[in-house]
Structure 1
Amino acid sequence: MNEKDLAKLIRETTLKVLSSDQQKSDKEIPIAASNRHIHLSAQAVDRLFGKGYQLQKLKDLSQPGQFAAKETVTLIGPKGKLQKVRVLGPARGDTQVEISLTDGFALGQAAPLRDSGDIEGTPGITIQGPKGQLKIDKGLICAARHIHMHSTDAERFQVENGERVQVKVSGDRGLTFDNVLIRVSEKYRLEMHIDIDEANAAQIKNGQLGTLLKY
């Protein structure tokens, strides 16, 4: 091979590598692991913290308008308790408690795998706050893995709200997550959410990138 042909081969190979890297980065999504937490209704806030109480912001979360509150509660199950469970704000229409499957063993109450917001037919739990106790008859779930996306992200990834995809994570314990729900809203910022059990299984740290794969 002469020098001209060699230079051409090197150039073509470089372009292919750069193109492949670009395609990969276009499909990458930041991942965040969610620890156990609770979303409270306004009525639940009153019951647990006192009438008219307002949640106090500890820090903003990645999704615009959402925050981790300074307040925590205790979850009381048939066999055990989980203390200092973080409250997320602002208050919602329904109270929803999100735990991992491992947390369910500690409480003695299994949490069904559900998409966030789908709480019909789910078990309840007792919640203890500084000013009172509340027993909800539904709302305890293990939140299914999902990806928050703005509409511009959905267009770029060529996916739709409600679609299920795969996300591949590299590393020493790399794996591919199946059945990842796409959630699209003008209020969302691109991020995949998994729970602590899932993060530990793949040794994922917050901010690590995964690659979206369509079925």
Structure 2
Amino acid sequence: MELTEENLRKIIHQVIQEQLGSNNDPNAIPIGVSNHHIHLTQEDFDKLFPGQQMEKFKQLKQPGEFASKQTCDVIGPTGTLKNVRVLGPVRTHSQVEIARSETFLLGVDAPIRLSGHLEGTPSVRLRTKDAEIEVQGVIVAKRHIHMSLEDAKRFGVKMGDSVAVEINSKDRRTIYDDVIARPRKDFVLEMHLDGDEASAANVRGNTVAHIIPKPKSTF
């Protein structure tokens, strides 16, 4: 079978379903814990890693996205995060995504935003052995759910809708409100939480989430 983007999406979907088990709940949403990471433009990548190509370290669940072998130090006014992973492919604007707890270490007041919404965000320095640059675009990623168009139809949501999500983990039940639906044709079903949120909900490898249905209007 030719490994096209469509076939890769099907393979990833099949793997997720197998991880959930043969008697899986069709409404169960796998949870991906998003650790701090960096997205770079081609120009910034070339400055930080002169003469290099972005090398794949690990395939991520969303088709075409991957963790690269390259890392940078993220330097703020009061502290440094060492060896933060660069994710590929390259973007049209560089950005750094961190957990809320890490904003205190770095000394930056990063807002909670969806990826790419960078207006008014603070700046940090990125450093490798070859270069150091300044990047404006530090955010704490707003929790969201990637899903296919078919998933969106099944859940009754559209791009940008806010939903409440319930997570039942060992010894803990957590409800996260204001989770943003992000359907796209090639997306694989996966809820993204940062490390702080996942830790608070006691998320483990097989923990899943469920969208809480909105009450039907009686009028």
**Structure 2 residue aligned with 1:134:** 133
**Structure 1 residue aligned with 2:21:** none
Q: Is the 8 A contact 1:32 1:205 kept in 2?
A: no
In structure 2, which of residues 120, 142, 145 is the aligned counterpart of residue 144 of structure 1? 142
1:207 Cα deviation after fit: 4.1
**Structure 2 residue aligned with 1:155:** 153
Largest Rg, 1 or 2: 1
Whichever structure has more helix as a proportion of its residues is 1
Superposition map of 1:200-211 within 5 A: 200-211=199-210
With structure 2 as the length reference, what TM-score do the two structures score? 0.84
CA distance in 2, matches of 1:183, 1:130: 37
Q: Is the 8 A contact 1:31 1:192 kept in 2?
A: yes
Q: Is the 8 A contact 1:39 1:88 kept in 2?
A: yes
> What percentage of aligned pairs have identical amino acids?
43
Cα distance change on mapping 1:95 and 1:207 into 2, 3 Å: farther
Cα distance change on mapping 1:207 and 1:118 into 2, 3 Å: farther
Deviation string 1:102-155 (CA, Å, 9 cap, x unpaired) is 11111111211011110011111110022111112x210000000001101111
Letter in 2 for 1:27: N
User: How much is the aligned-residue C-alpha RMSD, in angstroms?
Assistant: 1.3
Any gaps of 5 or more consecutive residues in structure 2?
1-23, 215-219
Letter in 2 for 1:178: D
- Structure 1 runs of 4+ aligned residues shifted over 4 Å read none
Letter in 2 for 1:113: I
Q: Is the 8 A contact 1:173 1:201 kept in 2?
A: no
With structure 1 as the length reference, what TM-score do the two structures score? 0.85
CA distance in 2, matches of 1:108, 1:211: 35
**Structure 1 residue aligned with 2:118:** 119
What is the number of residues matched between the two proteins?
A: 190
CA distance in 2, matches of 1:164, 1:214: 12
